């Protein structure tokens, strides 16, 4: 597979996985009704760190030879982030 084709496949898959990551980050950052007792929009903004974490997997999918693994990691990036960093947040 050529480099251009690999990058285009990775970027086509980056759009839905990025939307998924953004929606999950917004959901967790805004908190639930019970957590959001103030008038702030984002109660836990540290969950926006999912987005750069996802971007690392996009770069891996574009520039490494492991396209399939990179695409799978792009879609699983929010869940991997939550699994690894939930205790730190």
Q: What is the pLDDT of residues 6-18, one digit of tens each?
A: 888 888 999 999 9
Q: Tokens representing 59? A: 């770069």
pTM greater than the 0.85 cutoff:
no
29 has pLDDT over 70: yes
Tally Cβ neighbours within 10 Å of residue 69: 13
Contact 50, 27 (CB under 8 A): no
- Looking at every residue in the chain, the average pLDDT score rounds to 85
34 has pLDDT over 80: no
Q: How many residues does the chain have?
A: 89
Q: What is the pLDDT of residues 47-89, one digit of tens each?
A: 899 999 999 999 888 877 788 888 999 999 999 888 888 776 5
Residue of 16, 15, 48, 17 lying closest to 30 (CA atoms): 48
Compute and round to an integer the Cα radius of gyration of the chain.
15
Distance separating alpha carbons of residues 27 and 30, to the nearest angstrom = 6
What pLDDT score does 45 carry?
A: 84
Q: Tokens representing 52? A: 């750069």
């Amino acid at each position: 597979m050529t480099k251009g084709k690999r990058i285009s496949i990775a970027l086509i898959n980056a759009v839905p996985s990025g939307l998924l990551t953004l929606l999950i980050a917004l959901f967790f950052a805004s908190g639930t009704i019970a957590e959001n007792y103030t008038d702030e929009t984002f109660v836990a903004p540290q969950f926006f760190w999912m987005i750069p974490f996802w971007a690392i997997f996009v770069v891996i999918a574009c520039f490494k030879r492991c396209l399939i693994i990179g695409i799978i990691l792009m879609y699983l990036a929010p869940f991997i982030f939550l699994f690894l960093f939930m205790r730190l947040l």
